[in-house]
Amino acid sequence: MQGRGPGGIRGLGSGRGLGGNVDAGRLEGARHRLAERADGADDDDGDQRHEKPVLDDGGAGLGLPQRLAEVNEVIDLSLLSVVSLTSVFLLRAVPSVAGPSMIDSRSRLGRAVGADGDDTAETLKFSYRRLGRPPPAAAAPRGPERDRPAGCVGRPLPLCRNLARLRQKTGSEGSMPDRQVVLVTGASQGIGAATARAFAAAGHAVVLAARDATKLVALAGEIGAGATPVATDVTDPVSVEALFARVRADHGRLDVVFNNAGASLGATLIGDVSWQDWRRVISVNLDGAFLIASAAFRLMREQSPQGGRIINNGSISAHVPRYGSAPYTASKHAITGLTRSISLDGRAFSIACGQIDIGNAASDMTARMAAGVPQADGTLAAEPRIDVAHVARAVVQMAELPLDVNVQFMTIMATTMPFIGRG
């Protein structure tokens, strides 16, 4: 071999390496001299042997030229591995000195340097293949990775373990039990009551939460067995903790939460919104949603099998505001951020979180829309509404998906309501 450049070894064989050419004549001459010496080698007692020697080849009868070819091939492979590893080190560790000739040399190494970035491993595999030997087996994983369930690739290790437990319990990765335990807040009327009825009709156990105990008891009596009324103020941490203690005591687990409790304020310019009205809307719509989601997250993380689903009630106002709706619009934009954050936090624990944005579902809260509500241009106009049963069916559909599937955001609305193009 000849000389060294900035990249170390400059070439091998008769090809080009990282920095220049090898002296092919010198290499060929060395090979001829080696062959001549082998043909005329003296034995131990000084007598020359003129017959062609046969190396110990295990009975294969290989002659010296073929054996020399094998030796040269081994040498070339060894040099190839050294050059490949050197180039990998320089290209990774010293990118500033990797000029065009070095990068081009790496590309000419072809299969010896893996295209997928695993350069060292691919180089060794290539060398073993040329020698006709299988590469050594990969070392067994150590530490927590040795417990990774088979086939679980590209997912956090805690999530892999949770999905494995779900498969053992249900026979399907991430599938939900046929009968789920569902918590619905704001269940005493409107969207909450309709959704609770839909969950019960689908065969699920329903926990009804709202402040009005009388309405909850009436709804539970209408639904029948499987409905549990629990009077709850979602803005009060103590009341929320009591709600989840009841869920644990009665059911032992929680599979779905419909985070639905909400409050609104009639059209009021932001300069005329009182602090009391601001806090009332934000306290129910945002603080309450946080308290319910936080407690549900803890229970779903601790239960076995781990996991569950949280569905937040957003709004068309989570996208664009109505005239004079600062408290409500601010709270619903915040719900979107909460939904995204819960989705990210829940991945490792098989906790899915989605949001349904509803436009003009027929309920007590939207009754005024039939008479006319302020539009962006300052006029009053009646707006179409949809049967709340459609919203309820959509929530149940989101809830019954397996836990490895999630509707992150759904918008359901009256087809001709002023949302697209609002403002």
Tens of pLDDT, residues 148-163 = 665 555 556 666 666 5
| Cα–Cα nearest to 127, from 115, 112, 141, 114 | 112
Bridge partners of residue 402, in order along the sequence:
none
pLDDT, position 322: 83
The predicted pLDDT at position 374 comes to 79
C-alpha 347: how far from chain center:
7
* Other beta carbons within 10 Å of 394: 19
Q: Judge if 409 and 332 occupy the same domain.
A: yes
Same-domain pairing of 109 and 228: no
pTM for the structure as a whole = 0.60
Asked if residue 67 lies in contact with residue 52, where contact means CB atoms within 8 angstroms, the answer is no
Q: Is residue 369 part of a domain?
A: yes
Residues 113 and 61 grouped into a single domain: yes
Q: How far apart are CA 162 and CA 141, in angstroms?
A: 20
- Alpha carbon 359 to chain centroid, angstroms: 30
How many other C-beta atoms are found inside a 10 Å radius of the C-beta of residue 39? 14
**Contact criterion met (CB below 8 Å) for 89 and 121:** no
What burial class does residue 98 get, using C-beta atoms within 10 Å of its C-beta: 0-12 exposed, 13-18 middle, 19+ buried?
middle
Instruction: Say how many C-beta atoms besides its own lie within 10 A of residue 155's C-beta.
Output: 16
Q: What span, in angstroms and rounded, lies between the C-alpha atoms of 206 and 187?
A: 10
At residue 276, the pLDDT reads: 97
**Which value, in Å, is the radius of gyration of the alpha carbons in the chain?**
37
What pLDDT is attached to residue 16?
Answer: 43
- 247 and 125 both lie in a single domain: no
- Check: CB of residue 173 under 8 Å from CB of residue 368: no
The domain boundary residue, chosen from 97, 113, 130: 130
pLDDT of residue 46: 43
Is 223 a domain residue?
Answer: yes
Annotated catalytic residue 328: yes
In this structure, what CATH number is given to the domain that contains residue 353? 3.40.50.720
Low-confidence ranges of the chain (pLDDT < 70): 1-177, 421-423
In a domain, 230, yes or no: yes
The answer on 59 and 8 residing in a single domain is: yes
- Distances from the Cα of 191 to the Cα of 44, 128, 313, angstroms: 103, 67, 10
The label of the residue with tokens 């053992």 reads 168
The per-residue pLDDT for 377 is 76
11: containing domain: 4-130
For residue 247, the one-letter residue type is: V
Q: State the catalytic residue, choosing from 258, 328, 349, 419.
A: 328
Domain count, the chain: 2
What pLDDT, on a 0 to 100 scale, did the predictor assign at position 203?
95
